[in-house]
Amino acid sequence: ASAYYHSQTRDRYPTAPLLCDPPPFLSFTMLRTPSLAKTLRSIPKHNLSVLLSQQRAFSTAPVTVAIAGATGAVGQELLELLDERKFPLKNLKLLASARSAGKQIPFKGENLTVEELTEDSFSDVDIAFFSAGGSQSKEFGPAAGKAGCLVIDNSSAFRMDPKCPLVVPEVNAEAIPDAEDSMIIANPNCSTIIMNTVVWPLHQKANCKRVVVSTYQAASGAGAQAMAELEQQAKDWVAGDPITQDIFGRQYIWNLFSHNSPIEETGYNEEEMKMVKETKKIFSAPDIAVTATCIRVPVLRAHCEAINVTLESPMHEDEALEILSKSPGVTVVDDRENNKFPEPLDASGKDDILVGRMRRDLSQPEGYGLEFFVAGDQIRKGAALNAVQIAEEVLENYPTLLKKL
């Protein structure tokens, strides 16, 4: 990679941005090697990703993959990522409800037929991505696991199950082998992934004792129909027609409202409690204090979060930005002079979580509190990309989980 940089890119791209996230096929275990990580981060991102996407190498043969929920927003994103990242596919099965069975979905120049999701769908499948909702995951996930298929589940069905690891690859890829018995790996909540990808590097350095987060969550978190309704509401408003309110039961455009998940006895909603509980599990830190307020905003597909951390060891804001600039899956956008910081439009369609507005928390002793703002694509890193990265980690470092190979 270093030789390629010197011979091909220095003259053509003298001002190209530096690498802030791992090339698609590189495992996060590999990136923990300091010398390799340093070399890779010295190479312009565009050139490196183009070069390495053509030289991807896994330690296993191509695998058969299924996507349960292939017709949804996350399912469609999974298809795009499998193609984009040159995932080693032997065969690809698209699964959905009986209502969607028979639909044709294009993939790599051909049309694939959607099959009905049943307990018998996984006899020839190595890895199954589930994004069909919690009830479908509970019904069919264990059956897939018993058939020797490794399940990577995007619902909340198994996240707190002690037999199922809850994984953000940049944080705890080493937990993946814990799926040996259940054959189910849980994908965390989208807001949790976006927060933890950024908080984890700071936690490693200074031990975060408390995290306070307020989220600004896009329509995509409620699915493709919610995204379509937000767009329809814009059309209704421009046309002067009654505002369509089928999904949330309220006007969404020009409005904000508390996250639409059920409210618990504590007054917190389910989304907020997911962030609290999941962070403790992912960090293996039962004592970390987390509190969240989750809000829906009229944005299509990227979540934003305002995060405040209390640290056990002091850290200057410049040191925090330096750490994050070298962290996989993170891009720093922090330009005070031009008032340029993370925005959902800029994060949409991007793999990295954008982080900025880094500043000292003036209400805490100097160095022991930081405030910052993040934006991340909810469909991509918040769901589909995280799942694909887990599968890549399995292929590269834990292939014995794939029992049919």
Quickly list DSSP for 369-399.
Answer: EEEEEEEEETTIIIIIHHHHHHHHHHHHH-G
- 227 is written with which tokens? 């995204």
Residue type, 103: K
With a CB cutoff of 8 Å and minimum separation 6, the contacts of 35 are none
- 216 is written with which tokens? 């600004």
**HSE toward the beta carbon, residue 50, CA cutoff 13 A:** 9
Q: 332 forms bridges with which residues in the sheet?
A: 355
Q: What is the enclosing helix (H) or strand (E) of 47?
A: helix 45-53
Active site residue 303: yes
Chain-centre distance for alpha carbon 74: 11
The span from the CA of 104 to the CA of 403, in Å, is: 30
With a CB cutoff of 8 Å and minimum separation 6, the contacts of 6 are none
Task: Give the E-state strand segments of 190-335 in sequence order.
Answer: 208-217, 257-258, 289-296, 302-311, 330-332
Inter-residue contact 311 to 289 (CB < 8 Å): no
- 379 is written with which tokens? 């469909």
Active site residue 190: yes
- 21 is written with which tokens? 């996230």
CA distances from 9 to 13, 54, 120, 331 (A): 5, 17, 50, 21
Q: What are phi and psi of 349, to 5 degrees?
A: 80, 0
Give the active site residue among 164, 259, 303, 304: 303
Q: What are phi and psi of 84, to 5 degrees?
A: -60, -40
Give the active site residue among 149, 190, 208, 304: 190
Neighbours of 306 (CB within 10 A): 15
Residue type, 65: V
What is the set of active-site residues?
Answer: 190, 303
